[in-house]
Copies of this chain bind each other. A is one copy, B any other.
Amino acid sequence: MEQEMQVKQFGSSLLRLNRVRIEDPFWSEYIRLVREVVVPYQWEALNDRVPDAEPSHAVRNFKIAAGMEKGEFYGMVFQDSDVAKWLEAVGYLLDQRPDPELERIADSIIDIIDEAQQADGYLNTYFTLKEPEGRWTNLAECHELYCAGHMIEAAVAYAKATGKEKILQVACKLADCIGEAFGPGDDQIHGYDGHQEIELALVKLYRATGNGKYLELSKYFLDERGKAPHFYDEEFKRRGGSTHFPSLRIAKDRAYSQAHLPVRLQKTAEGHAVRVVYMCSGMADVAAETGDAELLQACRDLWSNIVRRRMYVTGAIGSMAQGESFTLDYDLPSDSAYAETCASIGLIFFAHRMLKIEPRSEYADVLERALYNTVIGGMSRDGRHFFYVNPLEVWPEGSAKNKVFEHVKVERQQWFGCACCPPNIARLLASLGSYVYDVKGGTIFAHLYIGGEAVLNVEGEAVTISQHSELPWEGRVRFEIGLERPTTFALALRVPDWSGEPHIFVNGSPVPPEQFASVDGYVYIDRVWLDGDIVHLTLPMEVRRMRGHPLIRETIGKVAIQRGPIVYCAEEADNGPNLHQLVLDPIASDGNGDPDDAGAKFQPDLLGGVLTIALPAYRIDDGGWEQSLYRPGGNVRLEPSTIRFIPYFAWANRGAGEMKVWVSERVNNFPPLERQEI
CB of A632 within 8 A of CB of B546, answer yes
The residue from B406, B598, B621, B639 contacting A678, defined by CB atoms under 8 A apart: B598
Task: Say yes or no: A629-B311 contact (C-beta < 8 A), given A328-B398, A616-B675, A616-B678.
Answer: yes
A622 within 8 A of B: yes
Q: Which residues of B contact A397 (CB under 8 A)?
A: 328
Among A307, A578, A628, A667, chain B packs the most CB atoms within 10 A around the CB of A667
A544 within 8 A of B: yes
Task: Say yes or no: A638-B331 contact (C-beta < 8 A), given A404-B336, A550-B621.
Answer: no
A515 within 8 A of B: no
A509 within 8 A of B: no
Near B by CB (< 8 A), chain A positions 604-662 give: 614-616, 618, 620-622, 625, 627-636, 638-640, 642
Task: Say yes or no: A547-B671 contact (C-beta < 8 A), given A402-B328, A553-B580.
Answer: no
Q: Which residues of B contact A578 (CB under 8 A)?
A: 550-551
A664 within 8 A of B: yes
Q: Residues 531-546 of chain A: 1 if any B CB is under 8 Å from the residue's CB, otherwise 0?
A: 0000000000000111
Q: Residues 266-280 of chain A: 1 if any B CB is under 8 Å from the residue's CB, otherwise 0?
A: 000000000000000
CA distance A557 to B666 in the complex (A): 10
Q: A613 — nearest CB in chain B belongs to which residue?
A: B678
CA distance A307 to B552 in the complex (A): 32
Q: Which residues of B contact A591 (CB under 8 A)?
A: 633-635
With an 8 Å Cβ cutoff, the count of chain A residues facing the other chain is 87
CA distance A598 to B308 in the complex (A): 42
Nearest chain B CB to A338 CB, angstrom units: 11
A581 within 8 A of B: yes
CA distance A592 to B593 in the complex (A): 39
The residue from B545, B625, B634, B678 contacting A549, defined by CB atoms under 8 A apart: B625
Q: Which one of A34-42, A60-68, A284-292, A315-323 is at the interface?
A: A315-323
Near B by CB (< 8 A), chain A positions 386-421 give: 395, 397-398, 401-404, 406
Nearest chain B CB to A195 CB, angstrom units: 20
Task: Say yes or no: A618-B670 contact (C-beta < 8 A), given A401-B327, A636-B547.
Answer: yes
Q: Which residues of B contact A357 (CB under 8 A)?
A: none
The residue from B395, B545, B560, B636 contacting A550, defined by CB atoms under 8 A apart: B636
CB of B547 within 8 A of CB of A631, answer yes
CB of A678 within 8 A of CB of B614, answer yes
A458 within 8 A of B: no
Q: Which residues of B contact A618 (CB under 8 A)?
A: 670-671, 673
Near B by CB (< 8 A), chain A positions 154-203 give: none
Nearest chain B CB to A381 CB, angstrom units: 26
Task: Say yes or no: A592-B547 contact (C-beta < 8 A), given A402-B327, A580-B556, A618-B671.
Answer: no
CB of B545 within 8 A of CB of A633, answer yes
Q: Which residues of B contact A304 (CB under 8 A)?
A: 627
The residue from B320, B321, B616, B670 contacting A638, defined by CB atoms under 8 A apart: B670
A588 within 8 A of B: yes
Nearest chain B CB to A550 CB, angstrom units: 4
Q: Which residues of B contact A406 (CB under 8 A)?
A: 322
CB of A632 within 8 A of CB of B678, answer no
Nearest chain B CB to A643 CB, angstrom units: 10
CA distance A402 to B331 in the complex (A): 8
CB of A673 within 8 A of CB of B328, answer no
Task: Say yes or no: A593-B636 contact (C-beta < 8 A), given A401-B327, A402-B328, A553-B395.
Answer: no
CB of A404 within 8 A of CB of B404, answer yes
Task: Say yes or no: A556-B620 contact (C-beta < 8 A), given A322-B403, A636-B550.
Answer: yes
Q: Which residues of B contact A666 (CB under 8 A)?
A: 667, 670
Q: A306 — nearest CB in chain B belongs to which residue?
A: B629
CA distance A398 to B552 in the complex (A): 11
CA distance A545 to B621 in the complex (A): 18
CA distance A633 to B547 in the complex (A): 7
Q: A547 — nearest CB in chain B belongs to which residue?
A: B631
CA distance A591 to B668 in the complex (A): 21
A131 within 8 A of B: no
User: Could you give 19 example pairs across A and B, Cβ below 8 Å?
Assistant: A319-B402, A320-B402, A321-B404, A327-B398, A328-B402, A331-B401, A333-B404, A336-B336, A546-B631, A547-B632, A553-B580, A557-B620, A557-B664, A588-B675, A615-B678, A616-B673, A616-B677, A618-B670, A640-B674
Having A547-B632, A598-B678, one finds 12 other A-B pairs with CB under 8 Å, namely: A320-B402, A322-B406, A333-B402, A548-B629, A550-B636, A552-B629, A556-B620, A598-B675, A616-B673, A616-B674, A636-B667, A666-B667
The 9 A-B pairs at the shortest CB distance, nearest first, are namely: A550-B622, A322-B403, A544-B632, A591-B633, A328-B401, A327-B402, A327-B401, A553-B580, A635-B669
Q: Which residues of A contact B (CB under 8 A)?
A: 304, 307-309, 311, 313, 319-323, 327-328, 331, 333, 336, 395, 397-398, 401-404, 406, 498, 544-553, 556-557, 560, 562, 578, 580-581, 583, 585-588, 591-593, 595, 598-599, 614-616, 618, 620-622, 625, 627-636, 638-640, 642, 664, 666-671, 673-675, 677-678
